[in-house]
Amino acid sequence: MPFNADQMIDKVRAGRVWRSVFRSGAGSSTLHRALAIQQNIFLHLFAAKVRRRMVRFGVTWYLGTLTFGTFLILIVTGILLMLYYHPSVPQAYADMKDLQFVVSSGLFLRNLHRWSAQLMVFLVFAHMFKVFYRGAYRTPREFNWVIGVVLLVVTLLLSYTGYLLPWDQLAFWAITVGSNLSSAVPLVGGKIHFLLLGGNQVNANALLRFYVLHCVVLPLAAILFIAIHFWRIRKDGGLYVQPSEPKTQAIIDSALAAKEGQ
Amino acid sequence: MPDAIHVNTTKLPIEFDRRAFFTKIGLGSVGIAAAGTIVFAYEYLSPNVLYEPSAIVNTGKPESFAVNSVTMDVNSGIYLVRAEEGFFSLSAVCTHLGCLTAWNQDLGIIACPCHGSKFKRTGEKIEGPAPKPLPWLKTWESDEGDLMVDRSTDISPLQYLRI
């Protein structure tokens, strides 16, 4: 019997194990495809069907997806960097240097983390500008814009907390300056500064707090809000598409015709 | 008129029923628990013991400083100045955003590398974004004859220490 890949795949998909995991079952009818999306915890955030013109490159330049891509790279490289990095004053800087010069592929992973972080901040802003100038934030998508602003703040905080971790002069003074900004808050500024650093100066407590924020608190917040952000796209009627060109042109033509007729 | 008073008194007992009472009790206890959680979190997050260097610095014998000299202690972030009028010490931490300033001997000024604030030897601001002059710090002579500086206590300017 000759080997047939399609038949093999169909056989696996019809099998009991596969069916216990993916309950939509074999087949490629519209219903099967819709069920495959709806019954998957990750895919159900998205619409079961999209218009082809919604996913054209020119509409969004895929900026949101690219931002999410950099976020995934940051999670993978970040977890790997955590295996060699100790968030303590005597070790942090040396660990960072070890990652650069001693650990196999350490330089690659650290630079990938660093460049992806820079790129993510850039892409978040680019995504925001694209949404703004296309008017994609308008009704019924106002709330998703608000979630987007929360994600912008989380991204900037991730960038800021990660900046301290190399524990070099640049990091130390950047965080000294940055945390002193919080002292300018009226009445409670000094308290916020004290809680943020866990002391009066950038020291061991500050390094540990920034590490926990950078590796646990802020990524969890980002994942939560990213999930809501994606889910809201479906709930708000899919990606925003501008009225098609011919229709707009028709409105202009009829308006001009009406003017000439006067 | 007496009729109106009569109507009001009969309405009162109906407004306050068992359901409203338990709702208030329930919301009240949730509120107390929430307030307790906030206090608990704040107390936990603010350290009670800090392993930071002492605020009091021993800068050494007064004779080791020449007249009209500015000496910076980088580790403690202070200047010890010996002027003709006497000794004083200044915080070297910029009042703008906390960078460590540096004494420039040639120009005779204190300058901040971060955002360009400049100060006179007495802490007075010459230019830049710093909102306040560099504070004068409490300075005294210990029983052993050493110059001591308390970094946590500001004093008003121009109080020279004469030895």
Look at residues A136, A143, A14 and name the one whose alpha carbon lies nearest to residue A63: A136
pLDDT score for A154: 98
HSE-up (13 A, CA, CB side) for residue B108: 3
CA distance A170 to chain B (A): 11
Look at residues A92, A90, A108 and name the one whose alpha carbon lies nearest to residue A100: A108
What's the whole-number mean pLDDT along residues A206-232?
97
Instruction: Considering only residues B33 and A5, tell me which one the structure prediction assigns the higher pLDDT.
Output: B33
What's the whole-number mean pLDDT along residues A49-54?
85
How many inter-chain contacts (A to B, CB under 8 Å) are there? 31
| pLDDT range class, residue A186, cuts 50, 70, 90 | very high
Cβ-proximal residues to B23 (8 Å cutoff; 6+ apart), any chain: none
pLDDT score for A27: 76
Chain A interface disruption, residue of B42, B52, B95, B115, most A CBs within 10 A? B52
Dist. CA B62–CA A167, nearest whole Å: 36
The pair of structure tokens assigned to A260 is 């000439």
pLDDT score for A243: 64
How much is the pTM?
Answer: 0.84
HSE-up (13 A, CA, CB side) for residue B51: 5
Order of strands across the sheet that contains B69-73 = B56-60, B147-155, B136-141, B86-91, B78-83, B69-73
Chain B residues within 8 Å of chain A (Cβ atoms): 42, 45-47, 50-52, 97-99, 114
CA A134 to chain centre: 20
| Separation in Å, CA B137 to CA A128, B73, B99 | 48, 14, 17
Tell whether A173 is within 8 A of chain B (Cβ).
yes
Chain A residue numbers with beta carbons less than 8 Å from the beta carbon of B46 are: 191, 194-195, 198
Chain B interface disruption, residue of A173, A188, A202, most B CBs within 10 A? A173
Which region, left, alpha or beta, applies to residue B77 given φ > 0 means left and ψ of -120 to 50 means alpha? Answer: left
By CB atoms closer than 10 A (0-12, 13-18, 19+), residue A182 is: middle
Mean residue pLDDT across chain B = 90
pLDDT surpasses 80 at A195? yes
pLDDT surpasses 60 at B1? no
pLDDT score for A87: 97
